Copies of this chain bind each other. A is one copy, B any other.
Amino acid sequence: MGQKGAETRDRLLDATQESVEAAGYFGTGLNQVITASGAPRGSLYFHFPGGKDQLVAESIRRAGRAIDDVMGGLANSSASAAEFVDGMLRHLGDRLEESGWRKGCPVATVALETAATNDLLQEACSEVYGSWEAALRTQLAGRPDADDLAVTILALTEGALLLARVHRGRGPLDSVARQIGALLR
């Protein structure tokens, strides 16, 4: 793949990710993606012959890796699991607020929309969540209930992100941050 091609491909994924995060799978139109990315229609189907599903699946996996990277960074700079989780909640809260309550979890909306009806996207979402869960688990290594705890913290984060987005305020993220100590003591 040449340089130009790689760039349009990236721009298409950028535009898709942006829209998917704000409005979900069904709320994202390919016309809009084409307009926002500046790429012509044909390029979309050249780079993503699988159409919308492939485009969204790749953009979701890419968003998943971005969060993985954030967790990787936090893992280095955090002295404890509590500090790690706190840093994560702060990062996600900043991202959410700065985006005008548009960017919550980049996967959740698509996950809910397609869980029952689209195996390809359901699998992509499931895998992304699985990788986040694994990252949390290694962060909690040594604890006897590390598995349950990782799932619980992930659920807590997702839920708080959802509530913060719906209410358009950081309140839920802050409440959860204050309670997380009870889980990690």
* Complex partner residue of A129 from B151, B163, B175, CB under 8 angstroms: B163
Asked, given contacts A155-B176, A157-B159, A178-B145, whether A129 binds B26 with beta carbons under 8 Å apart, the answer is: no
* Complex partner residue of A162 from B22, B111, B152, CB under 8 angstroms: B111
How many copies the complex holds: the figure is 2
Chain A 112-133 interface 0/1 with B at a Cβ cutoff of 8 Å (1 = within):
1101110000100110011000
* Complex partner residue of A183 from B116, B122, B171, B179, CB under 8 angstroms: B179
Chain A 13-55 interface 0/1 with B at a Cβ cutoff of 8 Å (1 = within):
0000000001111110000000000000000000000000000
Chain A interface mostly: helix
Which partner residue on chain B sits nearest A150 by CB separation? B175
Q: Is the CB of B151 within 8 A of A162?
A: no
Q: Is the CB of B26 within 8 A of A166?
A: no
Contacts of A162 in B (CB 8 A): 108, 111-112, 155, 158-159, 162
